[in-house]
Amino acid sequence: MNLNTLIQAARAEIPADILFTDALMINVFSGEIISGSVAVADGYVIGFGDYPAKQVISLSGKFLAPGFIDPHVHIESSMVCVSEFARAVLPCGTTTVAADPHEIANVLGVDGIRYMLQSAENQPVNVYYTLPSCVPATHLETAGAELDSEKLSPLMNENRILALAEMMNYPGVIFRDSGVLAKIRLAKNHRKPIDGHAPGLSGRDLYAYLSAGISSDHECATLEDAKEKLRAGMQIMVREGTGAKNLKTLLPLINNDTYRRMMWCTDDRHPHDLLSEGHIDSMIRDAVNSGIPPITAIRMATLNPAEYFGIKDAGAISPGRKADFIVFSDLYKIRAEQVYAKGILVAENGHIKPDIVRPALPFCPGSMNVKAEDIDFSIPALGKKIRVIELVEKQIVTTAIITDAKISENQAVSDTGRDILKIAVIERHKATGNIGRGFVRGFGLKQGALASSVAHDSHNIIVVGTNDADMKAAAEAVIAMGGGLAAVCDRKTLASLSLPIAGLMSEEPIAAVRDKLDKLIEVSAKLGCAIKDPFMILSFLALPVIPALKITDKGLVDVNKFDFVSLFL
């Protein structure tokens, strides 16, 4: 940005670079739709009306709105690198994101965050970050790093860091854990907002949480939860991800009195949904279709998140802000026909422009610190009864059941007849040799095994299968790829997706990643799997903060007791 140029162009002392004419501009400050022209110089809006300009672009009476902002997203959930994520969301009209690199931080720590910061450079999307607040998520698993306030402190000074990310450890807040409070003080000292994560927190516990300075929540799954938090002063991020979908539930909360304290966010969206449904634009369409006024929905995607984070140069079409625009024809079915970033046409009719260069990928350290030859999934039979993780249809919560073990040659083994399969988690960060072993019911596999290095939150390798040989072959395939997903039968890899970036992200285009995921799901179904997306379900079975029975590299976890339990009874 050249201030001299902007001021001179704004006074028409020198020509603007571009004059967009015949536009129906959405003014998110006044709520008006204004017919006229917008002048741009050096990538920034410098004024309205008639200006001398080097180039004139007629919008032919189409609508012009600010680029959309996603205030809470995990890029890693898209399974692609930052460049490919940007190329996926930009045609949808998203020009700014505030991403929480929580997943890669659990694997690579500060190095992972710095990798994401470097990846954000020279992107057509404005990629900002919030600093992960809960790495590791719990003491019940082995993560690749531990980020305390001392390690986070230097990162707070980075220009792309907007806030302290979702404070999932709300017990640590309300019971005044010293490490948690140190991170909160760090954010406060840097005048950064603190994002929340407190599903169902209510009453005095909620007030204690807010008294610490936490200001938003994206985890509201009920209208009552969101209403209480809104009344108490929180800003509500309405979430519509691949797994968690809260938009329809929370729409009744949005009205003329509340919308300025509300935003849209995607949190976690997988490649399929990004390519088939879209991004923030899909939420706006759904909201408008349900009766939310279009300009209200647009404000929630632009001005509100910009003001929440203090992003002064985004969120509106006004002098001094970046010329990040979307052009569309139908106010009630908003779909970006053209997307401009700093005045440059970067996407048109759902596709990135071919001349938009993808920046070179920065170096990312390897994340597979595990010896394949040491992997052993055998479970000596120490009793006749076992605890089994039971899947709940279309949910990431599980239940716990107790049943008879199938025993063969003094070993507890998978029982495909009863759909009780062996499951294991292999520690991959510190070469501890830890392997948590157990059983799960609900996958339906009749043969073969599935393995993944995407296993929230610590992202160790998780494997489920009908026999030890295929389970080991699947784990070996993941290790050989440097991370990824694999489906194996008779020790042969039938389908795979390489995720060499921290075992979480691919370097390939998002369409190629989607196609490989499709193949994995297709192969899983042929192996007997009864679940629509087994790898998504598998990824949450190692998360020991979501009830009821989960498994980590350290063993079975009773989430309600927040402690380990034995496999055999």
Same CATH topology for 3-61 and 67-312?
Answer: no
| pLDDT value for 397 | 86
Calpha distance 136→28 (Å, rounded): 39
Calpha distance 398→390 (Å, rounded): 6
Task: Report the DSSP pairing between strands 344-348 and 351-352.
Answer: antiparallel
Instruction: Tokens 């672009």: give the residue.
Output: 57
| pLDDT value for 12 | 98
> Which region among 28-32, 239-243, 307-311, 394-398 has the lowest average model confidence (pLDDT)?
394-398
Phi, psi (deg, nearest 5) at residue 263:
-140, 165
Could you please state the CATH topology (level 3) that the domain comprising 3-61 is classified under.
Urease, subunit C; domain 1 (2.30.40)
Q: Is 154 helix (H, G, I), strand (E, B) or coil?
A: helix
| pLDDT value for 76 | 98
Average pLDDT of span 154-164: 98
pLDDT at 468 over 80: yes
Calpha distance 476→485 (Å, rounded): 11
The answer to whether 301 and 262 are in contact (CB under 8 A) is no
**How confident is the model over 79-99, as pLDDT tens digits?**
999 999 999 999 999 999 999
Res. 380 pLDDT band, cuts 50 70 90: very high
Average pLDDT of span 466-476: 98
Single-letter amino acid code for the residue at 193:
P
Average pLDDT of span 396-402: 93
The answer to whether 443 and 534 are in contact (CB under 8 A) is yes
Average pLDDT of span 213-236: 97
| pLDDT value for 526 | 98
pTM of the entire predicted model: 0.94
The answer to whether 54 and 61 are in contact (CB under 8 A) is no
The answer to whether 389 and 395 are in contact (CB under 8 A) is no
Calpha distance 39→16 (Å, rounded): 6
Superfamily of domain 67-312: Metal-dependent hydrolases (3.20.20.140)
Distances (CA, A) of 212 to 164, 180, 206, 314: 13, 10, 10, 28
Structure tokens at 122: 């020279």
pLDDT at 1 over 90: no
| pLDDT value for 395 | 81
Res. 528 pLDDT band, cuts 50 70 90: very high
- DSSP designation for 157: G
The residue extents of the domains of the chain are 3-61, 67-312, 372-565
pLDDT at 394 over 80: no
Q: Which of 184, 98, 172 is nearest to 139 (CA)?
A: 172
| pLDDT value for 189 | 98
Dihedral in degrees, nearest 10, Cα atoms 159, 268, 359, 500: 120
